[in-house]
Amino acid sequence: MPHRSDVHLLYAARCLRGFGDGFAVIILPAYLTAIGFNPIEIGLVATASLFGTAMFTLLIGLIAPRHDLRNMLLLGAGLMAFTGLAFPSSEHLILIAAVAFIGTINPSTGDIGVLVPLEHALLARGAADDERTRVFARYSLIGALSMAAGALAAGSTDALVAWGFADLAAFRLMFYLYAVLGVAAAVVYMRLPHARAEPSRPAAPLGPSRHVVYKLAALFGLDAFAGGFIVQSLLALWLFERFELSVATASLFFFWSGVLSAFSYPVAARLANRIGLVNTMVFTHIPSSICLIAAAFSPGLTLTLGLLLVRSALSQMDVPTRTSYVMAVVTPAERTAAASVTAVPRSLASSISPAFAGMLLTLPFSGLPLVLCGALKIVYDLGLLYSFRHIKPPEELARYRSEKAAALPVNTGSPRS
């Protein structure tokens, strides 16, 4: 079990990565537009990125149980540094797509990426059942706040232009900053102890929990396919094109969006303690999807941004609860594989829809990706509630048994008359 200081190191690495991801998802579509890419080509780059993430996450899941997790994290940090250096070095679609496939810059936000299942496995090993959701809520909170700060930093490109830099030069400097953050994350990971995925590895990556994990993976895949229609880079592109937002204005919006998402994580942990993990995932997600659908039909910028901010306050409350639930319903030996197996379909499914979304953004009603995303996410929520409402994690089972025992009549021991 890792020491508490090791958990704090994982939090620090998440902060560094989150800051980079926060500005990268906004800079990416702006940079690609500046070098002449159209929405369809940007959608293809997003698809390549998410598909590559899925493939590397699957590879991580297969080999992580047999290798040192610290070394795997260092490899991922090195890949982050490479991505920041390689992205601004080419303007050809094929090369850009190749870097997107191999690299770590994601057009989406949240808990996908090659480093995520490794960090999740280490965090889960360091947390007791009654602390696990709070640990993941803090992890998600740190990630979201750092991404919000990164989104705000994306607006510095306008300041660089005002100081005399060309647009492309300003964007490239941000990519180089992303590479520096990858090096900084590697320095943090080097302070972690060497550790394999589990002290005694199972005969197969997944064992007794495979059926539960596969069913969760299928549902998470549907959720991710829906989310792929409006990954953050495409949402930024939609705002750029529909309302002619500047990068600075968009970065301010995504900053507040990230802040609202961040503070929803500790609320989610408290809510899950009262109504359960599955109920928290479902009953916060559905209203957020309704707000997204409404934003697609909103006639003005202010109302649109307001609906999207409300969505941000609700849509990510399933992130720490979902992760905690997966870690809870599998055996400790299966946690790394379960994190990967549930993450891979998310990345694969989300890699399909951005290419379609890029085409849909060229239609007269450009809000169609938002409608499809919201509708499919509601289907996912209902499927999750139907399939897993009776499968409880250990802490909820213990609470249920305690409440059931308290409700039983007390035997006074008096003789029957």
Q: Are 154 and 26 in contact (CB under 8 A)?
A: yes
Average of pLDDT values for 110-130? 74
Domain boundaries, the chain: 4-197+205-393
pLDDT value for 177: 97
- Name residue 359's amino acid: M
CATH architecture, domain 4-197+205-393: Up-down Bundle (1.20)
And the tokens for 401?
């048994």
Distances in whole angstroms, Cα of residue 81 to Cα of each of 87, 154, 169, 187, 349? 10, 18, 18, 12, 26
For residue 389, name the pLDDT band (cuts at 50, 70, 90). Answer: confident
Q: Provide φ and ψ at 89, rounded to 5°.
A: -90, 0
- The C-alpha atoms of residue 178 and residue 241 are separated, in whole angstroms, by 26
Instruction: Render the burial of 227-263: b for 16+ CB within 10 Å, e for the rest.
Output: bbbbbbbbbbbbbbeeeebebbbbbbbbbbbbbbbbe
- Give me the sign of the Cα torsion angle 195, 198, 199, 201: negative
pLDDT value for 109: 62
Mean pLDDT, the chain, integer = 86
For residue 323, name the pLDDT band (cuts at 50, 70, 90). Answer: confident
HEC per residue, the chain: CCCHHHHHHHHHHHHHHHHHHHHHHHHHHHHHHHCCCCHHHHHHHHHHHHHHHHHHHHHHHHHHHHCEHHHHHHHHHHHHHHHHHHHHHCCCHHHHHHHHHHCCCCCCCCCCCCCHHHHHHHHHHCCCHHHHHHHHHHHHHHHHHHHHHHHHHCCHHHHHHHCCCCHHHHHHHHHHHHHHHHHHHHHHHCCCCCCECCCCCCCCCCCCCHHHHHHHHHHHHHHHHHHHCCCHHHHHHHHHHHHCCCHHHHHHHHHHHHHHHHHHHHHHHHHHHHHCHHHHHHHHHHHHHHHHHHHHHCCCHHHHHHHHHHHHHHHCCHHHHHHHHHHHCCCHHHHHHHHHHHHHHHHHHHHHHHHHHHHHCCCCCCCHHHHHHHHHHHHHHHHHHHHHCCCCCHHHHHHHHHHHHHHCCCCCCCCCC
Which range, of 62-66, 254-258, 263-267, 362-366, averages the lowest pLDDT?
62-66
pLDDT in tens, 152-204: 999 999 889 889 899 899 999 999 999 999 999 999 999 988 766 554 444 34
pLDDT in tens, 8-46: 999 999 999 999 999 998 999 999 999 999 999 999 998
For residue 110, name the pLDDT band (cuts at 50, 70, 90). Answer: low
pLDDT value for 130: 72
pLDDT value for 366: 94
